[in-house]
Amino acid sequence: MEFVATELPGVLLIEPDVFPDPRGSFQEVWRRERYADAGIPAQFDQDNLSRSHRGVLRGLHFQEPGGQGKLVLVLSGAVFDVVVDVRRGSPHFGRWLGTVLSAENHLQLWMPPGYVHGFCVLSDDADFLYKCVGAYRPEDEHTIRFDDPDIAVDWPVSDPILSDKDRAAPRLCDAPVLPVFQR
């Protein structure tokens, strides 16, 4: 298993060991000690599973106060996964990272609190698993526009299927609340 640092501090791309054989394959999805050694908290409070269809875009979402760290992976299908640093005062404020996560490549992505998250579905369907540090609190949920020109995510979908909440989301510059960068 390899934990790869990205250009966004604290955000890790995880390449698990996959053991194929004639029956299929086996992999460890999470082991407390290994992830804790890589700086990922050993305590998850909530697991979420979403199923989405091709062209669905979910995001960009975050929770403040009480930000959530998230370990995400795709169980079936493929998504383009995006993380954006929105911590006020961060030297990486507004920068984004995008990567394809799929059942085929087995990659996982860890993002600590202070980042917004979203994804769009590239396959016919995708089952997306979130392991969350910190429980979901709807009163603290916030959304940033997926197509905010100040962030300029290069989404691989031209006419995404959005929820009403995501369609009405403010731009980053108009966000009512943002996490604060902690040195």
Query: Looking at the annotation, which residues are catalytic?
Result: 61, 130
What is the H or E stretch that residue 52 is in?
strand 46-53
Compute CA distances 21 → 18, 26, 27, 30, 176, whole Å: 10, 8, 12, 21, 51
Q: DSSP assignment, residue 34?
A: H
Tell me the three state secondary structure of residue 123. Answer: coil
| Cα–Cα distance for residue pair 97/126, rounded to 1 Å | 20
